[in-house]
Amino acid sequence: MAAGMTLQELVNQAAGLHSDRKAVWFDECSGKPPACYTYAAVVQLAVELTACLQKHCQQQGKCEIGLYCYPGINLPSWILGILQVPAAYSPIDPDAPPVLSTYFMRKSNLQYVLVENDKVNKFQMSHAGWFCHGSSPAEHIGLTLFQRSSSSTDVNPQADKVKRKYEPFRAVGDLQPTNITHPAQTEGKTSSGGYMDVGQKCSLAYVLHTSGTTGTPKIVRVPHECIVPNIQHLQSLFEVTPEDVLFLASPLTFDPSVVELFIALASGASILIVPNTIKMMPVKLSAALFHHHHVTVLQATPTLLRRFGAHTIKSTVLSADTSLRILALGGEAFPVLSLWRSWKHKENRTSIFNLYGITEVSSWATCYKIPEEVFSADFRTDFPVPLGSPLLGTKVEVRDASGSAVLEGEGQVFIGGEERICFLDDETSLPLGTMRETGDFVRVHSGELFFLGRKDNQIKRHGKRFNIEALQQAAEDLHQVEACAVIWHQQEKLILFVVPRDDLEEREMLQELQKRVPAYAVPDQLVLIEALPLTLHGCYDGLVYVLQSSDGEVHWTFVTGDTVKSSAVVDPGSGVAYIGSHDQHLYALDIYQKECVWKVHCNGGAVFSSPCLSSFPHHLYVATLGGLLLAVNPVTGNTIWKSSLGKPLFSSPHCNEHCVCVGSVDGNLYCYTHTGEKAWHFATNGPVFSSPCISSLTEQEVFVGSHDCFVYCCSMEGQLLWKFKATSSVYGAPFVFQSDGCKDRILLAAVSTDGRVWILNAKTGTAEGAEKLPGEVFSSPVVWGTKLVVGCRNDYVYCLDLCVTGKKTS
């Protein structure tokens, strides 16, 4: 496609080639046959609307026209008709609080609004100060044109309350602050010196409304030059053809709707539109999309996908015979891979994409196609999914707090490009190449960006961003509420915990909340409790607990900055405990003095595994999900040496007096000397999540499990001595022990994830006993005397007698 095209030119070009093909389907999902328009019909209606608007609208350099409507059969024609004036369209949601819409229309200085005919009364009641332009542009077009009266500037004093009322809530992609970086200001980089001017004729495509992170409502004006590259690149990535059917999943006020609509209409494909209410009815929606209209390309938020429910996703959306060819998710955090494995039928061939971007730089900035092998049963499921590569014309940078580029490590994302520029609020002219800060933080590793989240209390839900405290404050204002707390459970479910005062009717409370907060801030679940707990986030609450061994009472708690999945190791000499956190720090904690002795930032990602302490030399070893193996001075916290292994390290390092070993998801077991030199590596045929076990009895072997279902025994020179095939992957660390009955018999306890416990001969690798537990096993076994203890996923810890049978303890 030629450069510099407008959205309407993309559509008209496709319409010229596919005039008789179906362009739009509108299904009310009420049992009536769906309505449809061909490309010729869409264009004809648009041409008539354009002519009417050109007649009635006085253009003064630029023109922006509001569109107050619900999605319907005429929607593409209406948008196309406005664009051809030429004018920008500005969607106004009839369901939004009128005080908010009034404020936005006033702030963006809209002079004209097209109102869907059956919404005229609603519009007039909600927005005094607008007058009907005499007659509708054309009866069958279905719209009535309203013009703003000259005296309507301050006609609605209620609009002044909008800042106070909506301050806590933010729309997607907002910035804090709205920080602009001109190319010439960044590390000596210069642009071509050109500027983009909002007053250029025909430059604007659409205008959206958001609320800034400080609570000040914000206008985003998007030029064609900024959004068209999105359409063209994604059209190519998704390989959209006239045979495809796309779904208009996003509301018009959420800019991915522009991508959905114009990818379809620029390709000669069909766009399916359903009423907003149907999007809230999973059974009806899945029937319309996948049984009646056979949608092939779906771009949506994870929230919309989850709304179908796991059963429907597996049986319909991502079934073996689904019509869905492309599923692209964006606007919120990408679902974890373990969910995908439960959703995706093993024979499903739908291509899955992760999209990322902000409204301030028009919709999407990056795209990543998830490799098919990631969904296979033998692939580790908790890998972070990268944001992907920049889209056409888009520049993505990661910077630290001082503004310097981050090539490895953590920083904030900045997005821009030569012509990927939108105008915010009163901006009228911006240098080409302007970059915007996103407020989103990522980890950069080997050129890939991994989303970490926002460093404030905002969450994204239904494509919108807001502070969860705002929901808490709104709930606390209700007279029935004694106390409450909000959690964003696994970035999926917004749960409001309430300590009720008197009689609390759940339905009544939800109705009250719906009046006080936007739809995207209404909780998924209301839970009544007797008292608020001290911590809200369960076992992964970011705390380190120190308990009294005598009675289990809490002796001390230490707060880290994120989830703690690492186990502590204690120095027997000093009593200092060392533990890692997902906040990327390693902590040294004096549990007697109840203080943090030191903490060190590991620079290479979260610390998932447990540290390992070496007595001689006195080193502390720690591995990170960023692929770093570090040797740290246990007394001072200073780094002695570090080595980057490139892939995440879930395995805990183990050592003896000669070396330290650690497993990697690249499938290798690595061995380092205590001075930091790589001695050898041994390759398995799958990721190694198991921690290695170096024999304390002979110190001549190292044992490790692999995702490839084998337990391996290597010599201390890295040579394979034997391997044993288990019945599933081996995640737990093997445990070497001596048989009480025969001192020269050295045995090895190992567990596979299917719940099987194996006792192997440590010298030969032959099985000498096995037991099957009634659940999956990911923990490591420990042998003490004649007893083997291991945790199981059915919520029990088992103590097995090595001579008799398994006995269960709670």
Q: For helices 224-237 and 256-265, what crossing angle results, to 10°?
A: 60
| pLDDT for residue 166 is more than 50 | no
Residue 223 identity (one-letter amino acid): P
Range of weakest confidence among 322-331, 533-542, 544-553, 562-571: 533-542
Using pLDDT thresholds of 50, 70 and 90, give the confidence band for residue 215.
very low
Q: What is the pLDDT of residue 487?
A: 75
> Is the Cβ–Cβ distance between 659 and 673 less than 8 Å?
yes
d(CA 765, CA 748): 8
Closest C-alpha to 734, from 715, 760, 769, 700: 760
Q: Does pLDDT of 537 surpass 50? A: no
Q: How confident is the model at residue 604 (pLDDT cuts 50, 70, 90)?
A: low
Structure tokens at 737: 């022990």
pLDDT score recorded for residue 513: 87
Structure confidence at residue 469 (pLDDT): 62
The CA distance from 79 to 167, in Å, is 30
Tokens 């200073």 map to which residue?
638
pLDDT at 181 over 90: no
Do the beta carbons of residue 688 and residue 663 sit within 8 Å? yes
Q: Structure tokens of 462?
A: 């239904």
How confident is the model at residue 38, as a pLDDT? Answer: 97
pLDDT digits 0-9 by tens, 399-454? 998 999 999 998 999 999 988 999 988 888 888 889 998 888 888 998 999 987 66
The answer, yes or no, to whether residue 789 has pLDDT greater than 80, is yes
- pLDDT bin (cut points 50, 70, 90) of residue 138 is low
Q: Strand (E) positions, 3-111?
A: 22-26, 35-38, 64-68, 88-92
> Which pLDDT score, from 0 to 100, does residue 742 have?
58
The pLDDT assigned to 169 comes to: 33
Q: What interhelical angle do 75-83 and 39-56 show, nearest 10? A: 50
Q: What is the pLDDT of residue 235?
A: 96
* Model confidence band, residue 167 (pLDDT cutoffs 50, 70, 90): very low
Candidate from 60-69, 437-446, 692-701, 799-808 with smallest mean pLDDT:
799-808
**The pLDDT value given to residue 514:** 85
- Range name among 43-47, 89-93, 462-466, 492-496 with the lowest pLDDT average: 462-466
Q: Is the peptide bond before 617 cis (omega within 30 degrees of 0)?
A: yes
Please report, to the nearest 10 degrees, the dihedral formed by the alpha carbons of residues 410, 416, 422, 426 taken in order.
Answer: 70
pLDDT value, residue 559: 80
Q: What is the mean pLDDT of the chain?
A: 84
Do the beta carbons of residue 25 and residue 35 sit within 8 Å? Answer: yes
Q: What is the pLDDT of residues 366-377, one digit of tens each?
A: 999 999 888 877
- Chain-centre distance for alpha carbon 102: 32
pLDDT tens, 472-529?
767 877 777 766 777 776 667 788 878 777 677 778 888 888 888 888 888 888 877 6
Q: How far apart are CA 538 and CA 519, in angstroms?
A: 27
CA 202 to chain centre: 35
Amino acid letter, 250: S
Q: Which residue has the higher pLDDT, 3 or 790?
A: 790
Q: Has residue 240 got a pLDDT over 70? A: yes
pLDDT of residue 133: 66
Average pLDDT over residues 332-345: 83
Q: At 78, give phi and psi (nearest 5°).
A: -65, -45
What is residue 191's predicted lDDT score, i.e. its pLDDT?
44
pLDDT exceeds 50 at position 636: yes
| Predicted local distance difference test score (pLDDT) of residue 558 | 85
At 261, the pLDDT band (50, 70, 90 cuts) reads very high
Question: Where residue 465 falls among pLDDT bands split at 50, 70, 90?
Answer: low
Assess contact for 707 and 380: CB atoms under 8 A.
yes
pTM above 0.75, yes or no: no
Q: For residue range 755-767, list pLDDT tens digits in order.
A: 999 999 999 999 9
Specify the pLDDT at position 137.
55
Q: Are 171 and 210 in contact (CB under 8 A)?
A: yes
pLDDT of amino acid 456: 57
* pLDDT value for 277: 84
pLDDT tens figures, 503-515: 777 788 888 888 8
Adjacent-strand bridge partners of 208? 220
The answer on pLDDT for 7 being more than 80 is yes
Question: In the chain, pLDDT over 90 holds for what percent of residues?
Answer: 50
Q: Which structure tokens are listed for 89? A: 């369209």
pLDDT at 462: 78
C-alpha torsion 368→369→373→378, nearest 10: 50
**610: β partners:** none
Residue 153 reports pLDDT greater than 50 = no
Q: CA–CA separation, 133 vs 128, rounded Å?
A: 14
Rounded to whole angstroms, the Cα distance separating 94 from 116 reads 10
Query: For 675-791, where are the E strands, in sequence order?
Result: 678-683, 693-694, 701-705, 710-715, 720-725, 735-738, 746-751, 756-761, 767-772, 782-784, 787-791
CA–CA gap between residue 427 and residue 634 (Å, rounded): 54
**Kind and range of the H or E element at 16?**
helix 7-17
Of 103-107, 356-360, 379-383, 591-595, the range with the lowest mean pLDDT is 379-383
Measured distance CA(150)–CA(471) in Å, rounded = 38
In this model, does residue 151 exceed pLDDT 70? no
Q: Which of 21-30, 245-254, 476-485, 563-572 has the lowest mean pLDDT?
A: 476-485
Spatial neighbors of 701 by CB under 8 A, at least 6 apart, are 694, 695, 713, 714, 715, 716, 721, 762
Give me the percent of the chain exceeding a pLDDT of 70.
85
Beta bridge partners of 247: 272
**Pairing assessment for the beta strands 180-181 and 435-445 based on DSSP bridges:** antiparallel
Residues in the chain: 810
For the ranges 604-613, 668-677, 743-752, 794-803, the one whose mean pLDDT is highest: 668-677
The span from the CA of 578 to the CA of 596, in Å, is 10
Beta-carbon count within 10 A of 401 CB: 7
**CA–CA dist 240, 252 (Å, integer):** 22
What is the pLDDT averaged over residues 779-803?
A: 90
* Confidence at 185, pLDDT banded by 50, 70, 90: very low
Range scoring the smallest mean pLDDT among 93-97, 150-154, 315-319, 417-421: 150-154
pLDDT higher than threshold 50 for residue 212: no
User: Average pLDDT of 228-248?
Assistant: 96
Mean pLDDT on 153-161: 44
- Per-residue confidence at 165, pLDDT binned at 50, 70, 90? very low
**pLDDT at residue 109, rounded to an integer:** 86
Q: Of 24-38, 50-64, 307-321, 484-498, which gets the smallest average pLDDT?
A: 484-498
User: Which DSSP string do the residues of 716-740 spell out, in sequence order?
Assistant: TTS-EEEEEE-SS---SPPEEEE-S
The pLDDT value given to residue 552: 81
Residue 97: pLDDT band with limits 50, 70, 90: confident
Q: Which helix (H) or strand (E) holds 768?
A: strand 767-772
Q: Where are the alpha helices (DSSP H) in 409-529?
A: 468-476, 506-516
The pLDDT of residue 541 is above 90: no
Residue ranges in 59-179 assigned as alpha helix (H): 75-83, 98-107, 120-126, 162-166
Distance of CA 671 to the CA centre of its chain: 35
**Distance between CA atoms of residues 576 and 317, nearest Å:** 52
